Each structure stands twice: as structure tokens, then as C-alpha cells.
Amino acid sequence: MAIIALVLLAAVGTACQPMSSLSVAAAGPVEDAPAEESIAACEVVLRTKLEQANGADATIEPNEALDQCLMAATALDEAGEWERLARVYTALGILYWEAGDLRAALSCYETRLDLVEWLDDALETARVSANLGMLYLACGEVEKAAEHVARGHLIAVAEGDEELVAQTGAQLVGILGTAEAAIAYLQRVAGLDAPPVAY
């Protein structure tokens, strides 16, 4: 039985559902050739999206990409390949976000966050939390946006990733309006008397 359920929502399309728990015992690598093809296709989606973000003129067919990623998610979930599954949920989140299905994108990013937390990947947790925050902002949920971006920021500070600290700091300023508001929010969330880093 799959640990992470993919649920077909009537009249809305398919959405990812956050997982409730992970089994430590994995079923093993995916052996099914069609599943491997779907996984490979989903990895192409991720590479294409990265190229697009870096200014390349790469294109993909959204519906086909979504179908491939959904099949890949099912296969990887059944096989217990959590790191690869986490990447698939990134692709699904991006595809839903671009299609304007923000609730489905939120669900995928929340699942991705669950996975990277379970895998104990601090920097990826910071990145995903910040991305999830920006998606909450797009949904008009400002408090949740600030909460997730601040969490990503504080993890980035703890991990010493200066680039991510700058990115999440700028995002938090964008959400809250001023640097002073962002600093005060971080101090309150972290329970500090002084900002977590010099701003």
C-alpha cells in the first residue's frame, strides 16, 4: 500500500496529499520499466524548469509532464525511494503552481517538506520552507508565508548558508514590508533579544 496517497479531486484535477508517516523499511528500488520511464520524464521536467529559471528557452508539455510525474510519484512511493520522491514532488508543485492550481501546489510542497525533514536535510528544509512560504503568499496567506520563510531563514542562518540567508531575508522583507518588521518578526519567532544575524 502506498504511503503517500495521490487523490483525484473531482473537477479540480489530481493533487498531492501530505503524508502522515513514512515507513523506515523501504520496499526497494523501482524495477518496473514504465515506472522508470515516468521517473526519467519527471527528472527532465525538473531540469527543464531549472533551465527556464536560468533564462533558457526550454519547453515542456504541461499535461504530459504532470501525468509522468504522478506516475513517478506512485512508483517511488511504493518503492520507498524518498529522496527521488521528494524531487518528484518539487516538479509536481511547480507544475501545479504554473497551472494556477495553488492548493494542489501547496499540498505537493507540504509533502516535499515532510520528506526533506524526514530525510534530515536541513538546507533543503530551509529552501522548501521558503518556497512554501512564497506559495502561501501567492494564496494570500501572509502569516503562513512569513512563518515558513522565517523558518527557512533561521535554518539557513544556523547552517551558515549566506546566499540562502540573503534570499530568505529579502523574501521576508517583501512579505512584511520593511526590514524593521522582518527583523522584529525573526526576533519574536526565534525568541531572541537581537537579530539572528547582523542586518
Residues 142, 99 share a domain: no
- Asked whether residue 136 is assigned to any structural domain, the reply reads yes
**Does residue 6 sit in helix, strand or coil?**
strand
Question: 3-state class of 173 per DSSP?
Answer: helix
- Only one residue has cell 533579544, namely 193
Residue 104 pLDDT grade (very low, low, confident, very high; cuts 50, 70, 90)? very high
Say if residue 100 is in the same domain as residue 135. no
According to the model, what pLDDT value does residue 64 have?
A: 81
pTM, rounded to two decimals? 0.71
Q: At what angle do helices 33-53 and 82-99 cross, to 10 degrees?
A: 60
pLDDT, tens digit (0-9, with 9 covering 90-100), for 17-46: 333 333 333 344 545 555 677 677 777 766
Q: 76 with 42: CB under 8 angstroms?
A: no
Say what the pLDDT of residue 27 is: 40
| Helix, strand or coil, per DSSP, at residue 10 | coil
Average pLDDT over residues 159-172: 96
Mean pLDDT of the region 112-140: 95
pLDDT of residue 116: 95
* In a shared domain, residues 139 and 114: no
| Same domain? 100 vs 128 | no
The per-residue pLDDT for range 44-87, each reduced to its tens digit, is: 766 666 566 555 565 667 778 888 888 888 988 988 999 989 98
- Domain boundaries, position 107: 32-119
Rounded to 5°, the CA angle 15-18-21 comes to 145
Q: What residues pair up with 15 in beta bridges, in sequence order?
A: 7
Find cell 508543485 and name the residue.
93
Last residue of a domain, one of 93, 119, 145: 119
- Rounded to an integer, the average pLDDT of 150-176 is 96
d(CA 42, CA 87) in angstroms, rounded, equals: 9
pLDDT at 186 over 80: yes
